[in-house]
Amino acid sequence: MRDILGYSGKVVAITGAFSGMGAAAARTLVDLGAEVHALDVKPVAAPVKQSIACDLKDRASIDAAVAKLPKAIDRLFNCAGVPGPPFSSLDTTLVNFVGLRHLTESLIPRIPKGGAIASITSVGGMGWAKNLPVLTDFLANRDFASAKAWLEAHPNENNGYLFSKQCIILYTKQRAVELVASEIRMNCLSPAPTDTPMLPDFHKQVSKEFLETHFLTPLGRNATPEEMADPLILLNSDAARFVSGHNLMVDWGYVASVEVGARKGLL
C-alpha cells in the first residue's frame, strides 16, 4: 500500500501536545512512524521522542526549547493555545501568536526543502480581513519584544483570543508567499468548537446557548480532538504537497452556511 502521508521517519516538532488537538495529533504522528518532539508547559503523555517544557509567552523559554530540538525539522505543528480568560488579553496573544511566531521563525532555518508548517487558529478568526489594517500594523513588529510592546501600547486593539487567531491567519498567508522560494509550505486550520479541556473556559465567557446559536456546527455537535488533528496532519503531509497559504475551515459547513445566507453569522 502506498503511504501518501509520508510521515515515516520524519522529524516533527509539535506544541500543545499535553491535551486536546495537540495530544491527538502527537499520538497519531507517533503511530504514523514520525519522530515526535513535543513542546508544552505540562508533561506530555504520548510516547514521543522527547517532551520539552516550553512557555510560549516567555521568549527565553522558547529559545531554551529550540536549543533542545534536532538540527533538522521536517514538519512543525503549532497546536498550543489558550482561550482568553482566565488569561489576560496580553498573555493570550503572546501565547497564541507572538510565541507561536517566534518559535516558527526560529525553526524555519532548520526546515528543509519540501518541509511544512501547520498551525491551529479558529473559526472565530474568520473576520480577519475586516481587521486587516490593524493586523498588518501589528504584524510589522516582527520580533518578540516589539510585538509585546505594541500589544501593551494598544490594549483596545487586542481583545485576546479572536485577535490572536486573526493574526495566525494573516501571518500564515504572508509567510506562505515568502517561503515559496524555499519550497516550504505553510497552512493553518480553523476548527469549529471542539470537545477539549479548553472548551469549558469559553462557556464561562459566554453562554452555552450563545455558542450553540452562533458556532455549533450544522451537524449539531462539537467535534472531537481527532476530527481536528487528522485534517491538520493531512495539511502537513506529502498528500497536501501542493497546498500552501490555505486556511482550512473544519466546521462541517458552518462557514459555508453563513456565506450562502442559510445561517446568521456572528461576525
pLDDT band per the 50, 70, 90 thresholds, residue 116: very high
Q: 207-226 burial, b if ≥16 CB within 10 A, otherwise e?
A: eeeebeebbbbeeeebbebb
Per-residue pLDDT at 197: 67
Q: What would the mean pLDDT of 27-46 be, rounded to a whole number?
A: 97
The average confidence (pLDDT) of the chain is 93
Per-residue pLDDT at 204: 63
Per-residue pLDDT at 84: 87
Edge-first strand order for the sheet with 11-15 is: 50-53, 35-40, 11-15, 75-78, 116-120, 185-191, 247-250
Per-residue pLDDT at 1: 83
Q: What tens digit of pLDDT does each residue of 73-82 get? A: 999 999 999 9
Task: Output the pTM of the full model.
Answer: 0.94
Please check the confidence at residue 198 and state whether its pLDDT lies above 70.
no
Q: What tens digit of pLDDT does each residue of 203-245 get? A: 566 666 666 666 678 888 889 999 999 999 999 999 999 999 9
Per-residue pLDDT at 179: 98
Please check the confidence at residue 189 and state whether its pLDDT lies above 90.
yes
Per-residue pLDDT at 266: 65
Per-residue pLDDT at 33: 98
